[in-house]
A and B are shown apart, each in its own frame.
Chain A
Amino acid sequence: MAGKTLYDKLWDDHVVHTEDDGSCLIYIDRQLLHEVTSPQAFDGLRLSGRQPWRIARNLAVADHNVPTTDREKGIADPVSKLQVETLENNCKEFGITEFDMADIRQGIVHVIGPEQGATLPGMTIVCGDSHTSTHGASAALAFGIGTSEVEHALATQCLVQKKAKNMLIKVNGKTGAGVTAKDIVLAIIGQIGTAGGNGYTIEFGGDAIWSLSMEGRMTVCNMAIEAGARAGLIAVDDTTIDYYQGRPYAPKGDDWNMAVRYWQNLRSDSYSGDLFDKVINIDAAGIKPQVSWGTSPEMVVAVDANVPDPAQEADPVKRQSIERALQYMGLQAGQKITDIKLDKVFIGSCTNSRIEDLRAAAAVIKGRKKAASVKQVLIVPGSGLIKQQAEAEGLDKIFTAADFEWRDPGCSMCLAMNADRLEAGEHCASTSNRNFEGRQGYGGRTHLVSPAMAAAAAIAGHFVNVAEDVA
């Protein structure tokens, strides 16, 4: 049948020029910058004597290296400090808006974009960070790029791209108790694998997706990259439009009305599957709370399952991967997931640090305290404004009463570029997105879970099925 997918529409709307081999010059509506992947791009501009094409379409924030405690003392690590200062100096030199550490709007780049309305439906958005896929929750074509492309987008407001294929992942029906957006996306990755989305843009649809809040949709699209897709998308509906009304960078007045009319078309013309190169249907009712056991996000099972046995795997490459992962993680084949003991718990990251995530974690605690065997529980809100909101709701008091640490916003222990990290051999229940070897600290062992699952594990000292714990 004739018609376009949401991805087709976004793509077609941004083509500036098409080469003979099909690669296109694509216009970029918004670039988000952070301290880790931008210094060499600014150096490149200086070396070539170029200026940013449209300065106001860039927005910068430091997030990866910033401390989440004692901020008034500055950054202790001189190498991190230099990187954050370099971003500040580059933004001053080129006239780019930056939210510095003292700004209430500072936070994780993928959290503050939507929060400020710097992300809007229908945009193309890039950032030198793979989790830029997060912004696709707002029906924006958003993807991570390397530093050379950061420089390219600064200098030309465009990128050279080849169109990806269209994939539809439909999560049909309703999810059960204790099952969140995080569990949905982990279950998807468990099913299609970390390379399943390579070469595709994934549109997520189906009732279980469309009934999610914007926060939940961002969690799903955030991890599209963990399924191999550079970009994830979710269609515009009233939830999207309501979310953006009144945001600082959102259009106002007549522009708002015009934008809403335009945004309402930002959905695929049909979800029967005919328009897509690949369609995957998933039954929401079959998804249970998820826990990753290995060193790749696809190494994930339901909380009531067991750690897999490599002897049961026929493919030699996969068998070897399982063996290696079990060894690194210090787990036994066949061990119950609920028997895994935790040393630390991390609730935060661009995947799960929004107000809804903090509410979900707080709801599980209900006046209880962290287990004595758990050394540290970090709660790291995604932005200064989320922190403020959580404190207005009294969530910080619930966390500190449970002996959880209430921190300042940043990427923190998701990738441990600042002082927050695991020690070798420590098991961590983490609401972040990657469980690669060493990701949260040298020798650290990450288990990816939802905020509710992480909070419940902090109380019990081991994984518990939050669907039952809620009772």
Chain B
Amino acid sequence: MKAFTTLTALVAPLDRANIDTDAIIPKQFLKSIRRAGFGPYLFDEWRYLDRGEPEMDCTNRPLNKDFVLNQAQYQGAQILLTRENFGCGSSREHAPWALEDYGFRAIIAPSFADIFFNNCFKNGILPIVLPAETVDLLFQEVVDGYQLTIDLQAQTITTPSGQSIVFSVDENRRFRLMNGLDDIALSLQHADKIKTYEAERAKRAPWLFKDA
């Protein structure tokens, strides 16, 4: 996983509430058995005018010119600004995979759906929760070439005018993301504790331990 420390990048505003994971990456693309290559299909039904299919070459597909990510001034954006309950719906990690593959490293919203929020941290994406009024202000400020600087160590966002916005991330998640750490390796450091737990629980609930 890519580590996340600081990021200065272009912001793309996606002004909709309750954006679900079916919109982020439609189900036909979930048939892939790989982890990479979802970026061209991110927001497929909004981004293109035709119907997307797995493994399709997207270079000549008709674009929906009204969709924000197709507009010239937002090309290369790495920060997505959006509304409440972003990522609701399914648990598909293909959603953060698609966002990451497209190039997004941070998402700012008033709230996120829990499973999606969690999945972001496993993929080097920083989801930032800000008060709805602050998100509103950012939406008003976004103009051509609008960039934000995100500092995960300091847990601050700096706007072009120099204003500093504070956010907070759970300490454990922040540490793992800043160092790009392998969660499984960290958990396996507690292997002895897991075994002790199993031995103790097997006494209380033996029926859960009568398998091979």
Q: Which A residues are closer than 8 A to B by beta carbons?
A: 13, 16-17, 19-21, 23, 25, 27, 29, 36-37, 39-40, 43, 48, 50, 53-57, 64-65, 77, 79-80, 82-83, 86, 120, 122-123, 128-130, 132, 143-149, 151-152, 155-158, 160, 162, 164, 194-195, 198-199, 225, 228-230, 251, 255-256, 258-259, 262, 296, 317-318, 320-321, 324, 415-417, 434, 436-439, 442
Contacts and interface: CB of A to CB of B under 8 A. Distances in A.
B72 interface: no
Contacts of A258: 206-207
B205 interface: yes
A146 B206 contact: no
A53 B112 CA distance: 32
A152 B89 contact: no
A39 to B, nearest CB: 4
A73 B122 CA distance: 39
Given A57-B211, A145-B91, A415 B27 contact: yes
A56 B211 contact: yes
A324 B17 CA distance: 11
Interface in B27-58: 27-28, 30-35, 45, 51, 54-55
B18 interface: yes
B23 A48 contact: no
A195 B91 contact: no
Q: Which 9 pairs from chain A and chain B are nearest by CB?
A: A56-B211, A251-B207, A146-B93, A148-B122, A144-B91, A146-B119, A39-B33, A21-B171, A195-B85
A146 B88 CA distance: 13
B205 A160 contact: no
Given A21-B170, A251-B207, A262-B205, A195 B84 contact: yes
B194 interface: yes
Given A146-B118, A258-B206, A194 B18 contact: yes
Interface stretch (B73-81, B99-107, B149-157, B182-190): B182-190
Contacts of A225: 115
A151 B34 contact: no
Contacts of A53: 194
Given A16-B197, A25-B193, A194-B85, A255 B206 contact: yes
B212 to A, nearest CB: 5
A199 B85 CA distance: 11
B130 to A, nearest CB: 15
B51 A160 contact: no
15 contacts: A123-B208, A130-B115, A144-B90, A144-B91, A145-B91, A149-B119, A156-B188, A158-B190, A162-B170, A195-B113, A251-B207, A259-B207, A318-B17, A438-B45, A442-B26
B123 interface: yes
Contacts of B193: 16-17, 25
Contacts of B96: 146
Contacts of B89: 130, 434, 436
A320 B18 CA distance: 12
A231 to B, nearest CB: 10
B31 A317 contact: no
Interface in B5-39: 16-18, 20, 22-23, 26-28, 30-35
A441 B132 CA distance: 33
Contacts of A130: 89-91, 115
Interface string B162-206: 000000001111000000001110011011011001100100111
Nearest to B45: A438
B95 to A, nearest CB: 9
A417 B204 contact: no
A37 B211 contact: no
A198 B118 CA distance: 12
Contacts of B190: 16-17, 25, 158
B31 A195 contact: no
Contact of B113 (A65, A80, A198, A321): A198
Given A36-B30, A151-B184, A145 B115 contact: yes
Given A156-B191, A258-B206, A438-B22, 16 more contacts: A16-B190, A17-B190, A20-B171, A39-B33, A79-B31, A80-B31, A83-B32, A145-B118, A146-B93, A148-B93, A155-B187, A155-B188, A195-B88, A230-B114, A230-B115, A438-B23
